[in-house]
Amino acid sequence: MPAYAVLGAQWGDEGKGKIVDFLARDADIVARFSGGNNAGHTVMNPMGTFKLHLVPVGVFWPQVIGVIGNGVVVDPDGLLQEIEELQQRGIDLTDRLLVSERAHIVMPYHIVLDELAELARGSEAIGTTGRGIGPAYTDKAARIGIRIADLLDLEALLPRLDNVMAHQNAIIDKVYGGQPLSLDKVYDRCKEWASRLMQFIGPVEHVVYDALQAGRTVVLEGAQGAMLDLDHGTYPYVTSSHPTIGGAYTGLGLPPNQIESVLGVFKAYSTRVGHGPFLTELHGETGSKIRELAGEFGTTTGRARRVGWFDSVAARYSVRINGYTSLVLTRLDVLDSLDSIKVCTAYELDGETVTDFPGSAAVLERCTPIYEDFPAWDRPTAGVTDFDDLPVGARAYVRRLEELIGRPIDLISTGPYRHETIEVRSMIAV
């Protein structure tokens, strides 16, 4: 069987965790390919409620091996804590988790630099998660990153780390006036990570490739969302990796012909955490109502998420750059208690109608959304598992979104639990 990619299609937090947990029933491997512990993926299943940041959410199915690909940046403390917490709750990852030797490590100085850089940006701050993600990817591109493989040869690591830390400490001290970090302390952390992570380190590319050759099913668990992509998102208000389909290939060393389906996960409305343009944002009562009702607070940082209407201009762009073969719609039930619903169908810019998503954040800020109105539906969608059992209004909403986005919606989520799902069309061939 081939690989299936499950990607965030908006600004992250679309409910990828819930969907991957649902689909992983039929998977042999679930693999992360980008981002780090800036991600927060919530899963609610018969084993409980879990919030995972680095461990792939597929591991709740006993047959699944979790894989962390080369495109991910790994905070070893975060990963070890997650493994331990899962262990305490009865999910043992021994022989069931594999971390790529090629993945880069989020080092303690990356976290310090993330915080200092945000402070220095002042009113231009990005609103990062503060997990050191940007600085870790910066070092990767600058070829001064420390990789998981480096933990396997601690002797060779020491002079490299000395060199890199001299550079990073100079920036911390001279540019930001911060407190330099001790080489000895960071090296000691590396030694501890090496001994504790050793059993999980392996040749991920080969394992995934061999599994596909042997006819196994691989689900690729996206992190973040298309509109946060370093190239395709609302730059500079983006993350430093590629949550789009290209990132899945490079982040796992996977040949393009191995991915059969690309599933785009959309929320039935929009949210965004951090700064940056968000045209359909609701600043008043409706926004607060949705935020409170739906618990729209960051899974990783606890920050209040900005809430807005569904933006089909951004959605069509997301389709274009990812080539979704089908769509997933989550959190439809959140709209149950609203009096009326809006969907943005186009933007207006200087008296002209814009239907293609602009490439510049500054131009985006000048656009205003054009809306189509939908009446409230007369009974709840919450917990519904059959499309025909949805109220007429909700079905009309789903059908109109399909029209506006231009792709079929094959899976609809009507609640946070695994079973609260409508499978319009089976997405994984078994």
Catalytic residue ranges? 13, 41
Binds ligand IMO by CB under 6 A, chosen from 23, 72, 126, 252:
126
- Considering the rule CB under 6 A, would residue 128 count as an interface residue with ligand IMO? yes
Question: One symbol per residue from 263 to 282: x for binding ligand IMO (CB under 6 A), - otherwise; what is it?
Answer: ----------xx--------
Query: Of the listed pieces 35-43, 225-233, 344-352, 361-369, which binds Mg ion according to CB under 5 A?
Result: 35-43
Which residue, 37 or 345, has its beta carbon nearer to ligand IMO?
37
275: its two tokens: 């700064």
Question: One symbol per residue from 334 to 373: x for binding ligand GDP (CB under 6 A), - otherwise; what is it?
Answer: x---------------------------------------
Binds ligand IMO by CB under 6 A, chosen from 58, 134, 251, 416:
134
For the segment 291-320, give every residue that binds ligand IMO (CB under 6 A).
299
Least separation in angstroms between residue 53's CB and Mg ion is 9
3-state DSSP assignment of residue 2: coil
Listed in sequence order, the DSSP H helices in 52-93 are 76-88
Binds ligand IMO by CB under 6 A, chosen from 3, 5, 10, 13:
13
Q: How are beta strands 409-413 and 270-272 bridged, if at all?
A: unpaired
- Considering the rule CB under 6 A, would residue 227 count as an interface residue with ligand IMO? no
- Considering the rule CB under 6 A, would residue 71 count as an interface residue with ligand IMO? no
Contacts of 201 (CB under 8 A, 6+ apart): 98, 99, 100, 101, 148, 149, 151, 152
Binds ligand GDP by CB under 6 A, chosen from 42, 240, 241, 286:
42
CA gap 311, 269 in Å, rounded: 8
Tell me the DSSP string of 236-283. Answer: TSS-SS--SHHHHHHTTT--GGGEEEEEEEEESSEEE-SSS--TTB--
Q: Using alpha carbons, list the distances in angstroms from residue 407 to 326, 328, 402, 423.
A: 6, 10, 6, 16
- DSSP single-letter state for residue 407: S
- Considering the rule CB under 6 A, would residue 44 count as an interface residue with ligand GDP? yes
Least separation in angstroms between residue 374's CB and ligand IMO is 26
Residue 330 touches which of ligand IMO, Mg ion, ligand GDP, none (Cβ within 5-8 Å per kind): ligand GDP
Residue 108 touches which of Mg ion, ligand GDP, ligand IMO, none (Cβ within 5-8 Å per kind): none
The alpha carbons of the chain give a radius of gyration, in whole angstroms, of 22
Contact of 28 with 244, CB cutoff 8 Å:
no
Binds Mg ion by CB under 5 A, chosen from 8, 15, 36, 40:
40
Contact of 133 with 36, CB cutoff 8 Å:
yes
- Considering the rule CB under 6 A, would residue 133 count as an interface residue with ligand IMO? yes
Binds ligand GDP by CB under 6 A, chosen from 414, 418, 422, 427:
414
Contacts of 242 (CB under 8 A, 6+ apart): 34, 71, 229, 230, 231, 250, 251
Which H or E element spans position 364? Answer: helix 361-366
Query: Of the listed pieces 294-302, 307-315, 328-336, 397-405, which binds Mg ion according to CB under 5 A?
Result: 294-302
Tell me the DSSP string of 154-179. Answer: HHHHHHHHHHHHHHHHHIIIIIT---
Which residue, 16 or 272, has its beta carbon nearer to ligand GDP?
16
224: its two tokens: 């973040």
Question: Residue numbers of the site for ligand GDP (CB under 6 A)?
Answer: 8, 12-18, 40-42, 44, 294, 299, 330-331, 333-334, 413-416
Binding positions for Mg ion, rule: CB under 5 A = 13, 40, 299
